[in-house]
Chain A
Amino acid sequence: MSLLRAENLYKIYQTGSEEVPAVKGVNMNLEIGELALLMGPSGSGKTTLLSILGCILRPDQGKLLISEEEVDWTESKLPALRLKYFGFIYQQFNLLSSLNVRENVEVPLMLQGKRGGFAEELADHALGTVSLTHRARFNTATLSGGEKQRVAIARAIVNDPPILLADEPTGNLDSQNGIRVMTALRDLAVERGKTILVVTHDTRYNSFADKIYKMEDGEVSLT
């Protein structure tokens, strides 16, 4: 069953008097429990497409459907939509420096108004999924790159969103940690039915994917 579907998406940037199309007529379909890779060279429009698919950036044309329901791009409705449906994992981890590991994981819960013991329990459970319960009280600055990315994964899944969007999640990691992160994502798709889209350059992770999209000059094709 389709969970995230893009129909004929366009996004054009204005650079001075010149129009630069970043996304051109993209069609994609991600099923429940599916892990897909989005590959392509730098400047091909992957980040722009990921921003649109994550309801962060409004497309100039086309439709985005979540659970067959078209996204309403009204600005005030988007934060709640993101919080409900998406978990984000970034290349730079983007953890909040003033919060410890558990508090970082609790952020989406805090935004949903969940706090106290219940939020801590959910955060510890998410940390358990990425085998980091023992680091719950650590300052994030003391963690290795691989650990930081696993904290980011825990944060992405703590409020149980159906879709995870990962932008180069292994980009700052060595190969061993990269494989650990991809394995964790694969497990989330298989065991917990998460729909996951991973942007990556690295063809070594092709074997983790159910399908692979290639993007070039703003156009996407399924390989």
Chain B
Amino acid sequence: MIRLAWKNLVQDKMRLVVTMMGIVFAVALMMVQSGIYFGFTSNVSGRIDNCPADVWIMVEGAFNADTARPFPQEVAHRIESIPGIEWAEKLTRGFAFLRMADGGSSWAIVFGFDPDSGIGGPKEMVRGSILDLRKPDSFIVDESTLALLKGASIGDKLENFDKKMEIVGICRGHKSPNTYPVLFASNKTMQKHSVRMDNSVVYVVAKIKEGVNQDQVMERLNAIRHFDVYRADDFSAMVKTYWTNKTGVGMGIAITMTLAFIVGLVIVGQTMYSATVERLREYATLKALGASNWAICRAIWAQAIIVGLSGYFIGMAISTTMMLGFASKVLSIKLTPLVFIVVLITTLLMCLGAALLSIFRVLKVDPATVFRS
């Protein structure tokens, strides 16, 4: 039946092309939207995901990474002394207001950390070293946001609230989820340059010792009053969920993907159905010859799977090339194996769903019609 399915498909090449175009369009749209979505969520939780800490501790009430309030850094010492904690690091986060050489200005997101440990710092350096942040009033900028600083480069000094700061390095992997440049600085620089950050930190991240009962350590951490404690994975998920739900990004992408699915379903369904109707007499002949309904269903499913898989691989190749080729330069895109698997399953479901109409029609065909001329 697979051979019959294949031969039926390739007999009308124009119809096959139209069907494939519908699938390729749907697959490409789903892939691009998924890539953009995962790229976006990976940006907003990038600092958490790149950090080797097991737990994140912050003042209670923060509902995403941006809304955590500063607190006195002495709390970090209390956390460090809790049994079961291997190490604890102080991280800061704030904003800078930069004035560029050309007279323009921009807000910037600044992540503060201890350059000696590197924990909570940039994922990958392109130029310079993390240790260069030991230099007072220095910062590292992510290459993706360099353009927002109007072509500034290493050694340039920018004004931040009337204080000079020097670019000492360029990093990679921290695209901004909004239009602000992303900078990294030492905690000391942060405390000096940011408003109300004197002697304060925003997060304490900690590593739990291996072999220790993690739940017990979490209980001890949770006992600190007025602080929230999250496992790194939970905090990352919370931040992603916040940005997905509260910004409308999730809804927008869900609507686009649903539309892609529906458009693909309609195109494939319509072309498969018309092809089936044209062959009703042949299906009746098969039934009269002794083909069971199940055998005929298999032939139609096989057609759906063949066009689904072919359309998926073509759509995947086109969208991946497009995304990794030029779209990644302007957009944050992340293609994970999960994206490929989910889009593949969705595509097959779309094609099998589209075949249902044809199957219902064929099941009703009376084999006795073959005797009528």
List residues of A whose CB falls within 8 A of some B CB. Answer: 47, 50-51, 54, 56-57, 76, 79-84, 86, 88, 90-92, 94, 96-99, 103, 107-108, 110-111, 155, 167-168, 171
Contact across chains for A90 and B290 when beta carbons are under 8 A apart: no
List residues of B whose CB falls within 8 A of some A CB. Answer: 1, 3-4, 7-8, 10-11, 279, 281-282, 285-292, 295, 367-368, 370-373
Contact across chains for A54 and B288 when beta carbons are under 8 A apart: yes
Contact across chains for A83 and B289 when beta carbons are under 8 A apart: yes
Q: Tell me, rounded to whole Å, the shortest Cβ–Cβ distance linking B371 to chain A.
A: 5
Q: Tell me, rounded to whole Å, the shortest Cβ–Cβ distance linking A53 to chain B.
A: 11
Q: Which residues of A contact B288 (CB under 8 A)?
A: 54, 56, 82, 88
Q: Tell me, rounded to whole Å, the shortest Cβ–Cβ distance linking B370 to chain A.
A: 5
A149 to B38, CA, bound (A): 60
Contact across chains for B373 and A91 when beta carbons are under 8 A apart: yes
User: A82-B288, A88-B288 known; A110 and B4 CB under 8 Å?
Assistant: yes
Q: Tell me, rounded to whole Å, the shortest Cβ–Cβ distance linking B3 to chain A.
A: 7
- Find the B residue at minimum CB distance from A50: B371
Q: Which residues of B contact A51 (CB under 8 A)?
A: 368, 371
A3 to B1, CA, bound (A): 31
Contact across chains for A171 and B368 when beta carbons are under 8 A apart: no
Q: Which residues of A contact B8 (CB under 8 A)?
A: 98
Q: Which residues of B contact A167 (CB under 8 A)?
A: 371
User: A56-B368, A57-B368 known; A96 and B290 CB under 8 Å?
Assistant: no
Give the contacting residue for A83; candidates B279, B281, B290, B373; CB below 8 A. Answer: B290
A155 to B370, CA, bound (A): 15
Contact across chains for A90 and B11 when beta carbons are under 8 A apart: no
User: A98-B8, A98-B11, A99-B4 known; A56 and B367 CB under 8 Å?
Assistant: yes
User: A56-B367, A94-B282 known; A111 and B289 CB under 8 Å?
Assistant: yes
List of 5 A-B pairs having minimum Cβ-Cβ separation, nearest first: A83-B290, A98-B7, A98-B11, A94-B285, A82-B290
